[in-house]
Structure 1
Amino acid sequence: MRGFFTSTLAAAALSCASATCSGFKDRTASLGSSNSTGYDYIVVGGGPSGIIAATRLAQSLSNKTVLLLSRGPGPTVNTGASLTVGWNDSLTPIDVPGLSTAVALYERGNETLFSSYLCPDAPNVYAACVLGGGATVNYMVFPHPPNHDFDDKWPTGWKWDDVSEAADRVWSLNPGTSLPSEDGKRYDQGMYTTVSKFLDAQGWSAVDSSEDRNNKTKVYSYPNWDIGNAERVGPLRTYLPLAEQLDNFSYRVNSTVRRVLRDGSHSTGVEVENEAGAIETVSLNKGGKVILAAGPWNTPKILFNSGIGPLEQIQTVANGTTGVALPPQKDWIESPVGQAIKDHPIFTFYVQTPDNWTSYNVSTTVDGSDVDDINLYEQEGSGVLSQGYHRMIFWTSNVASDNITRYYQGSVSPQGQGLFLIKGYLTHGATSSGTMGISANGDVDYVQKPYLRDAGDQEGATLFVEEMLEGMSSYNGWELTEGYTNVSYILSTYTQGDHYVGTANVGTDPSTSVVSADEVKVWGMDNLHIVDSSIHADLPTGNTQAITMVVAEKAVEKIIEAVKKAF
């Protein structure tokens, strides 16, 4: 039977594998006046950034109390989930890497498991409301960011040389792996063989995307997945067990923070809607801090509800139907919250080849009939179920007439007999941005989408799609499927990458940024900080999970350093 986690964190994780750890034990406790002394640090958001920040605060400031509030439920058996895979009562569908595309086949209450873990107040975008955040529901692709992701547009104090030690701390606990099967073998590699031959013929090179992370032009790689011990990991399983052993740490699930409570420029606590729908107050101790880590959609919402943001958005809250009480108008802080959102647009290619391989039939795992693969996974931590969805990742770049280098990631997966899918992302170097806001009923959404708004992005994307189509349409009997055969169609049918950044961006000027570069402190506030991907100054070259963890490590380091200097 598969264990909880057996990496270098085994002792920490296994000691918390029951309901005896402080975080799990306290998670159903009352949030309100029962805590008469309050907390020294309230971390809002149970995703990767919040878990990392809360863990490091509790470790570094052992005489201070730290509370982590997760809006959603726990997704694993050890964090309270009861829906398991059916053939193993210690594993939920979230745990098994090979089931990442099948989470929507399981039902939790009246919804699919996937839908139940999404925030209902972000109906047109993806925001995860579950402990572990986006790392709980994504496809686990985990490329380590190249230096230029920080060096190009991040402010002083946030260049690669500044964050490299924070990255090392992440990799020491949560490195990811391109070879997750514990028998050291790769499974279901027919598509990889086919596509790698094509890329080789086009002059591309095979690399290890973690070891050679700065090489992002005409290279391909096995995916680096956020997997350990053949299970989905992320900070939920690599950081949180460390915090759970500390007496000064606790966490609660199903606790929605509505707003930060303020006395002028000072945070005094947070207002929380608990699982029963009751509104409670969680207070800060004297000298305490609120750290927002609710994600690129919910962190801005909390700021709007707290009287921080564009005046138009704050006024929408004031005139809305949510019942949120804003601070006095004299205390509203005008800030460009939500005014610089970015995301990766995705371009789709379906290619039919004459080769004799197919995609893994995940439904046979869901119904338990694939006994051989299930047994191999359960007994040895090996096989196709230990792997993620994609079989290849690639990168390339081009330079448009504006002389800006734009990078592109391709995520490649088998879809059927000889059929594969490429999702091509326009990534780092994209110049288009948009805006987001809040509606009267409290929903968050785009005001202006950020995709392909600038001529340079349109030109670069066109060059990328043209190059891909030219190469694939003339190769070895390959056939582009109907609808995905011309540039204009592919560009016009782009989809959202769901890798949102920049809604509370970091900077040195309060007129163009939301938090300061030195302490990630919200401009105009003296003890309110943000550590999640909303502060990112630019789009990364790949999926956002790894870089989000690095930024959280660096951001909380800055907060801790400032606290220690004050004493």
Structure 2
Amino acid sequence: MHLVQNWAVAAAVAAWLQTGAAAPSINEARAGPASCSTSSKDTYDYIVVGSGPGALPVADRLSEAGHSVLLLEKGPASSGRWGGTMKPSWLSGTNLTRFDVPGLCNQIWADRNGIACTDYDQLAGCILGGGAAINSGLYWKPHPEDWNMSFPAGWKNPDMQESVSKVFSRLPGTMYPSMDGKLYLPQGYNTISAGLTQGGWTSIVANDQNDQRNKTFSHTTYYFSGGERGGPMATYLLTASQRKNFAFWTGAAVKRVVRTGGHVTGVEVECSGGTTTINVTPNTGRVVISAGTFGSAKILWRSGIGPKDQLNVVKQSGDGATMVSSDQWIDLPVGYNLYDHVGTDLEIAHPNIVNYDFYAAYNRPASGDSQSYLNGRTGILTQAAPNFGPMFWDIITPSDGINRHLHWQARVEGSRSTSMTLTQYLGTGSVSRGRLTINSQLKTIVSTSPYLNNAGDVAAVVQGVQNLRDGLAKVSGLTWIRPSSSQSSAAFVNSIAANPGSRNSNHWIGTNKMGTDDGRSGGTAVVDTDTKVYGTDNLFVVDASIFPGHVTSNPTAAILIVSEHAVSKILALPFPAAAA
């Protein structure tokens, strides 16, 4: 069933191959975004800030409902579909860029110039598509406890199922990204999955059995389609772009929202040609910020929304002269509740494992590999670097009685040519939190590390490492590199610094927490359960920054689902009384 979505494309590719020419790309060129304009006087019913997996479903659904929508992205185009041009020479003459070919995704770690945000102290994509343009495309349905453990009423698992269905009907995902239905260089998957089976773990299909995530494993799932990245830009952005009431700009860095009290009238945008204000429709217009965990917090601070210590930093910066006056500030806990999946890397080696050098393949893939990809969208380059699989799960309950969900992801890379790195991600149920702040140069800083500052979280990570070591104990020929066979699991976990340099997964969430406890009156929430910023009547935040706690599902899938759910709530809200 996981190949069904590719049959139509596969048939087209097969027919084309009979002509002897290169395969057609599903990545057809489209009318690309406009450049940021300082001369525009248009107004819009909705301005959506950002272009990642939070922004795109919102923009699509709002425009589908008949509203005029402007989507603003601070970075350049990425996919060739939207006018992107960043590519290695072997893709010359095609409509593909480095962002379209799954096997080239690791290049972000070697070359991020013009792609990564320069005003954050952590890696994030400032490019059309946001994180969904640069990540590995991993994608699976959430476990019910992802919603039930920390999300508020109206956002529990039963509430989310309609949105889950909408997302996965538009973007089903696949375990077999190559157009011939084969998995290439599966030795790593075979080695680990066989070991887990021997250790008592059970094989599942991740998106069919998403409630079975304890001592289970699966092939890795991706949001790829037709042998290309696809994803939100090939679905939500594609349909939105076909409507006359939708527009999108690149190179448009939103500085702040323009507001009087709690009512937003527009956004101030920095273009290469200067600064301009784009207005929303008087009385009924709305702004949705979806610039990510760092970017959305920064925009709120610059807009006079946040804790006073951070607003004073902005006031004393180069922004100070144009910042909203202090009597208009809205005191909310923006930047608190920061979290990231705690990453713990283990490494094993086994003689059966075969490594593929994806970094070398960026500029000089073997001719057979490049031709297989270009002519039929088959082969190793249809798979995300560095060859993932399996993914597997464990649930640990420490002495505090709170379930911690662990997701593991295996990939073929490490210190040896026969190595695999097994990364444990601590997600749902984790208690540790940190804080994001802003400095005088208006750069966001992880000032309080969110990793393992709770004893139960530490205990879960340690026990998870031990469970995996026990699970793979029967694999003949397997060598433990990290931790060594003589090092205890606790000693290994405690030897890794609990800071972003050592634990970073780049799955940041939480800085604009959603909840019913209004942060203006001593609560912890920045947005209410309609995703509206407390103290405002037409300003919303929809992205991972509103997550109250982490999920164990892949962040892209969770953000898409949250976005679908949020836009339904936004559309159902009446306009302020002043608009009547």
Asked if TM exceeds 0.5, the reply is yes
User: Does residue 525 of the first structure (1) align with residue 530 of the second (2)?
Assistant: no
What are the superposed Cα offsets for residues 215-240 of structure 1, whole Å, 9 maximum, x if unpaired?
Answer: 11111111011201111122111111
Kindly state the Cα deviation for residue 300 of structure 1 after the two structures are TM-superposed: 0.5
Give the Å deviation of 1:15. Answer: 11
1:55 aligns with 2:67: no
Q: How far apart are residue 469 of structure 1 and its match?
A: 3.4
State the partner residue of 2:342: 345
> For 1:220-231, what aligned pairs fall within 5 Å after superposition?
220-231=217-228
Task: Name the counterpart of 2:425.
Answer: 425
Which sits farther off after the overlay, 72-81 or 199-208? Answer: 72-81
Question: Cα deviations across residues 49-97 of structure 1 (Å, max 9, x unaligned)?
Answer: 111111110001x1x3100000111112232222223223311111111
- Residue 546 of structure 1 aligns with which residue? 557
Shift of residue 470, structure 1, vs aligned partner: 4.3
The Cα shift of 1:133 comes to 0.6
Give, as a single letter, the amino acid of the residue that structure 2 aligns with 1:336: P
Alignment partner of 1:102 is 2:107: yes
Amino acid at match of 1:527: N
Please report how far the alpha carbon of residue 523 of structure 1 lies from its aligned counterpart in structure 2 after TM superposition: 0.3
Measured in 2, the distance between the counterparts of 1:47 and 1:543 equals 14
Aligned to 2:527: 515
Cα distance, 1:282 vs structure 2 = 0.7
Q: Indicate how the Cα distance of structure 1 residues 414 and 197 shifts in structure 2: closer, same or farther if over 3 A, else same.
A: same
> Residues of 2 paired with 1:183 and 1:395: CA distance?
28
Partner of 1:438: 438
The answer to whether the aligner puts 1:190 opposite 2:187 as a matched pair is yes
CA separation of 1:329/1:565 partners in 2, compared to 1, >3 Å: closer, same or farther?
Answer: closer
Q: 2:556 is aligned with what amino acid?
A: Q
For residues 59 and 472 of structure 1, the distance between their equivalents in structure 2, rounded to whole angstroms, comes to: 50
Instruction: Report whether the alignment pairs 1:501 with 2:509.
Output: yes
Matched, 1:265 2:262: yes
Task: Give the superposition deviation at 1:459.
Answer: 1.4
Q: Which of 491, 495, 510 lines up with 1:492 in the alignment?
A: 495
Task: State the partner residue of 1:72.
Answer: 75
Q: Distance in 2 between matches of 1:343 and 1:194?
A: 29
Cα displacement (A) at 1:351? 0.6
Kindly indicate whether the alpha-carbon contact (under 8 Å) linking 1:341 and 1:436 is maintained by their aligned counterparts in 2: yes
In the TM superposition, 1:87-126 aligns within 5 A as: 87-88=90-91, 89-105=94-110, 112=111, 114-123=112-121, 125-126=122-123
Deviations 1:253-307 (A, max 9, x none): 011001010111100101111134x111111111100000000000000000001
Q: Distance in 2 between matches of 1:5 and 1:285?
A: 44
2:562 and 2:317 map into 1 onto residues whose CA distance is 34
Q: Which residue of 2 aligns with 1:285?
A: 281
CA contact (8 A) 1:94 1:103 kept: no
Q: How does 1:140-151 map to 2 (within 5 A)?
A: 140-151=137-148
> Equivalent residue for 1:305?
302
Report whether the alignment pairs 1:476 with 2:476: yes
- The one-letter amino acid of 1:516's match is D
Mapped to 2, the partners of 1:328 and 1:469 lie a distance apart of 58
SS of residue in 2 equivalent to 1:333: coil
Q: Distance in 1 between matches of 2:575 and 2:318?
A: 42
Q: CA RMSD in A?
A: 2.4
Deviations along 1:163-194, whole A, 9 cap, x unmatched? 11111111111121111111111111111111
Q: What is the deviation of 1:419?
A: 1.7
Which among 34, 38, 41 is matched to residue 46 of structure 2?
41
Q: CA deviation at 1:28?
A: 1.9
User: What is the distance in 1 between the residues matched to 2:25 and 2:482?
Assistant: 51
CA distance in 2 between partners of 1:16 and 1:466 (Å): 44
- Distance in 2, matches of 1:147 and 1:447, equals 32
Q: Supply the AA of the counterpart residue of 2:84.
A: A
Residue 417 of structure 1: CA displacement?
3.6
Q: Deviations over 1:88-132 (max 9, x none)?
A: 331111111111123455xxxxxx2x3421110112x12221110
User: Unaligned regions of 5+ residues in structure 1, if any?
Assistant: 106-111
Q: Would you say the 8 A contact 1:47–1:294 is kept in 2?
A: yes
SS of alignment partner, residue 566 of structure 2: helix
User: Residues of 2 paired with 1:541 and 1:76: CA distance?
Assistant: 28
Q: Aligned with 1:145: secondary structure?
A: coil
Indicate whether 1:326 and 2:326 are aligned: no
Separation in 2 of the partners of 1:436 and 1:143? 28
Paired with 1:283 and 1:367, the residues of 2 have a C-alpha distance of: 44
State whether residues 5 and 14 of structure 1, in contact with CA within 8 Å, keep that contact through their aligned partners in structure 2.
no
Q: Tell me whether 455-464 or 315-324 shows the greater mean CA deviation.
A: 315-324
Does the aligned pair in 2 maintain the 1:399–1:460 contact within 8 Å?
Answer: yes
**How far did 1:365 drift?**
2.9
CA contact (8 A) 2:437 2:446 kept: yes
Q: 1:330, CA displacement in angstroms?
A: 1.1
Asked if 1:537 is matched to 2:540, the reply is no
Quote the offset at 1:551 in angstroms.
0.1
Q: Quick check: 1:378 aligned with 2:374? A: yes
Aligned partners of 2:410 and 2:26: how far apart in 1? Answer: 38
Identity %: 32
TM-score (norm 1): 0.91
1:299, 1:363 → 2: CA distance?
32
Between 129-138 and 411-420, report the one with greater CA deviation: 411-420
CA contact (8 A) 1:47 1:132 kept: yes
**Counterparts of 1:378 and 1:16, CA distance in 2:** 12
Partners of 2:27 and 2:95 within 8 A in 1: no
SS of 2:90 mapped into structure 1:
coil
**Contact 1:322–1:440 under 8 Å retained in 2:** no
* Conserved 8 A contact 2:27-2:96: no
1:29 Cα deviation from its structure 2 partner: 5.4
TM-score, length of structure 2 as denominator length:
0.89
Query: How many pairs are equivalent?
Result: 542
Summarize the alignment of residues 128-277 of structure 1 with structure 2, pairs less than 5 Å apart: 128-276=125-273
Q: C-alpha separation between the residues in 2 aligned to 1:371 and 1:14?
A: 19
Q: Which runs of 5+ in 2 are unaligned?
A: 1-5, 13-23, 497-501
2-side partners of 1:386 and 1:442: how far apart?
39
Distance (whole Å) between structure 1 residues aligned to residue 363 and residue 28 of structure 2: 27
Which secondary structure does the structure 2 equivalent of 1:170 belong to?
helix
Deviation at 1:316, TM superposition (A): 0.6
Equivalent residue letter for 2:57: I
CA 1:29–1:351: 2 relative to 1, 3 Å: closer
Task: Tell me which residue corresponds to 2:457.
Answer: 457
Distance 1:484 1:337, change over 3 A: farther
Deviates more, 1:317-326 or 1:84-93: 317-326
Contact 1:5-1:237 within 8 A present in 2 as well: no
Choose 152-161 or 254-263, whichever is displaced more.
152-161
Q: Per-residue deviation at 1:460?
A: 1.3
| Partner-residue secondary structure (3-state), 2:268 | strand
Structure 2 match to 1:109: none
String of CA shifts for 1:536-564, please: whole Å, max 9, x gaps: 12210132110000000111111111158
Letter in 2 for 1:413: R
Q: Secondary structure at the match of 1:515?
A: coil
1:447 deviation in Å? 2.0
Shift of 1:364: 4.9
Contact 2:176 2:182 in 1 (8 A): yes
Change in CA separation of 1:531 and 1:476 when aligned onto 2, cut-off 3 Å: same
SS in structure 1 at match of 2:401: coil
